[in-house]
Every structure is written in structure tokens, then in C-alpha cells.
Chain A
């Protein structure tokens, strides 16, 4: 089969690999029909995530058709169209039994600090991902769902991570009616978090970024008030000025490890790998939210330490909430919202790239060329 393969920082190619075999009785093999590149894939691409091995296939956002099932699979059969959450999870451990699917204890031997994620380094379990023609899907009776007949493929693939994560990020903000919500980052997760904040009754939604085309999308897609942080000497002071000097009630970090806005933070994390991530957006969130407010962290960070302004969070009495999104827990509600037209995730798709050209896809997304917001990957066999 053809599959994207990591060759080292900033380098990937498409190679011929063996079709993955059934390795466990509850495995399924899925023929991928559509995949996506996630902003967090760029952390792997840039060599930031520890234990990212040459030869691995990335990709944790994908949908497809069941090609083969293991002997204990009861809920799926060959030919079923399925969407697969980015979390690999068993459904039966202490954490899964409590709905914390992203924190499953039975799928990641390499680390206890994170659950299993498709195509996301050995730190997340060493599973090959879906930027390929075929992918192994463990716990087929637990993770995947049939794609509803009425749902578009492009909406379905964005439900496997980006939309679910943005919606989850808004939930972690504990938004109540009339709250002022500021979202740092106008990428896919930030756009979906901003849009979701309205569903939860926000009274004002502000989005901060430095890419004007993404801020334009935040205005049109997410109905948000926007600010370009490069136009302000100090974005934190600006945030205070526009919130009567109290700060926002809720701040959402939808940027994560590769945040821009501070050269030294970026250099020491993205380029020199001395931090788990550049916490510029997180620090701005901490400083922009009001005392007693809530910071929701949806941007992904690596497992190493980062220079976070913890003292400010302590002294302000903030609630810090975060987790990888337990995707499947969000789906029933999100299916309703998509069907009712409140959310149309595919509106943010800007690029559709054949698998054979995936290196260009990563480059365009990474360098933010061509007004790229969300690139999809179309495998040949799909």
C-alpha cells in the first residue's frame, strides 16, 4: 500500500508499505477514503514530539471503509463506512469506564501520561496512522462509528478530531450565559471553539491570531470579534482595555506547542526542542483572563517542561482545565448540531491534496501558504 512516511524533521515521503495485519482479535483494517493533516501533526513533522521514529506513518484524522475484521469484532463488518476517533481506547479500563477515553490505560505501553493516538509517535503508543491507504484500528467494537447516511465525508473526517476538540475546549471553559470568551488561535480548533462558545451562550467571542486570512475566517465562519496581535504592542494590555480592564471570563488556548509571538520561546521549543512547547498563547491566556476565570487548554504540548506563568495563574485564582479530547463522547451531540446546521465543519477546508503529494501538503500547512486553514488528504485507494 502507499503510505506517508516520516524521514526526519521537515521531511516526509510516500512509500510502499505492507498492508497492516490483524494483530488482536478486536482489530479492524480500514481502507482510508479521506484523511486530514492536523495542526498537531506539525509538532511531529517538526521533530518536537519525543520518540517520533523514522518510518512512522502519521495521521489521526481519517475515515474509511472496513476491509477486514478480527474474530471477536461484533459491531462492524467488511464494507461498513466508518469514522474513527483519534483516540485509541479499550472502553473497559478505569478511565474509559468513566468516559475519559483519551486517557485509556490499556493501549499505550510507552507512557502513562497520555493515552493512545493513531500515528502520533511512540510516546502515544506507536500506532501507524491514517495518512495511508490502509490502517489498523484496534478495539473496533469501541472506537469507530458508522458514518450516518446524511453526513458528508468532509464533515465526518473533521469530527474525528478538530471539531470535537474545539467543542470540547469550549466545554472546558465552563461557559455560562453572557460570558466573554477569548480564543487564542484561529486555526481549525480555534475556529470550532469560537463557534461552539456561542452554542453555550457566550455573550462575546474574541479571536486572536496573527494571520489575517484566518482572522477573516473567524469573523465570517465563527461570527467572532478579531484582533491581530502583531498590530498591538502588548496583546494582554489590549485585551484588558477591551474588557473594561477586568479580563475575559474564559480564555481558550487553541494554539499549543508552536505558538508565535515570542521569538525566544519559539526558538527554545520548536527549533531547539528544549521545551515541551512554546507557551506564548497559554501565557497570554493566563494573563488575559479575569481573576477567578477559567483557562481551557486545547493546544497540544509535548511531555517535557514548558515555561508557563504558573505564578500568575495561582495568584489570579484561575481554574486551568485541559485534556486530549475524548472524541466519541462528543459525537451524539455534535451529530445533532451538524444535522441541524449549527455547525458545518467542512466550511473550513481549504486544500484537498492527493496522498502522493502529501509532502507539499505538510509544507503548505506548516508555512501557512496559500491561505491554508485545513488540508485534507485523499488516498489513491480511497
Chain B
């Protein structure tokens, strides 16, 4: 088609589409849609019966973005910061959300948290188990091969990397434990000789 002012003709008319597709055009008027206009001022719509919410008790110091004037009146209480990762997180919250370092430190803290938690789990009666926690046995029970072989899937190019990322912390943890035990054994042997 030459580049003219005309809009390309559609294969089906509106009447044909209305007949073929249930509900076609029931929201045809762009002004009569739930999120139009984007901002619709109506402070009574939500059901809130307060101008500003009562404050949730702050039972421990709660980290917050320095872009907030104060701690928000309601907040989540899951997983308070702890250990080295907690120190990293607290430092990240001294930087604004506009700084890349804020997010990169949080991501690094997540990795430290995961590694530390794996190591600590080996000192408990419920150690991490890479088989059950990764769900990898689904490869057998839910047609891992059939889901991939002969399929034009773009994700097959990078899926082999997933086990490395999933198992990597266990390899690192195993290495740390091995080196630690080896050092301990050497120290005990040396002490025995002395």
C-alpha cells in the first residue's frame, strides 16, 4: 500500500466483530472507562473514615526511605533487618531512591542474606534442601522434557544457567565448611603435636 493519508482497511467491520466476539465494544466510549480520567478527585469513594490514619505502633526502629518526611502510619513488619545484610540494608536507606547505590546495595544485601541464611540453616534441625526447595523434581513429574523438546522456546538459551544460580550458594557454603573444617583439623593436629 502506498503511503497515503488513508487508514488501512481492517479485515472485519465493527458489526462483524460485535457478532463474533462476546462483549465487543461494551466499553467503546473512551471517557466511560474505570480509570478515565487518570485522576478523579473523590475523597469519599474509598471507604476511609479518617483524614490521616491512626499510627501503627513502631515496636522497633523501622528503616525508611529518606524521601519520606516520616515513617508512614502503616507498614509491613516482615523480616526485620539482621546481621551483616541488615547493616547493609540500613546503610542503603541512608541513600535516596534516586541513587543507583541504594538499589545495588540492597541487591547485594539480598545475596549476603541468602548465603548467610543457608549457612545458618545447617546448624538447625531444618537445613536447606536444594532438591525440595527448588522444586526441581517437577522436571520428572511435570513433563520437563516434553515441555521443551521440539518446541520453539526462546528461554531454552538461558535455562541451563538456572541450576548454576540455584545450586551455587550450596557449592559456596560447602566450600566454606570444607575450608573451615580443614583449618580446624590442622589447628587441632598442631596443638596435639605441641
Contact = CB atoms under 8 A, between A and B. Distances in A.
B79 A333 contact: no
B151 interface: yes
Interface string B28-71: 10100111101111110111111111101100001111011001
A228 B154 CA distance: 10
A100 B114 contact: no
Contacts of B75: 107-109, 125-126
Interface class of chain A by DSSP:
loop
A304 B107 CA distance: 10
A257 to B, nearest CB: 13
Contacts of B193: none
Contacts of B123: none
Contacts of A78: none
Contacts of A112: 65, 67-68, 97
B154 A92 contact: no
30 contacts: A7-B121, A7-B128, A8-B169, A11-B128, A12-B133, A12-B135, A23-B57, A50-B110, A54-B79, A89-B46, A90-B73, A92-B51, A92-B52, A97-B41, A98-B40, A98-B42, A99-B38, A109-B64, A112-B65, A112-B97, A139-B53, A271-B158, A273-B107, A333-B27, A340-B23, A360-B142, A363-B134, A363-B136, A368-B155, A372-B142
Given A8-B113, A127-B78, A203-B10, 10 more contacts: A54-B113, A54-B114, A56-B78, A96-B46, A110-B63, A111-B97, A174-B30, A340-B23, A367-B159, A369-B139
B117 A108 contact: no
A53 B78 contact: yes
Contacts of A304: 100, 103-104, 107
**Interface-centre pick from B24, B33, B143 (highest chain A CB count, 10 A):** B33
B14 A9 contact: no
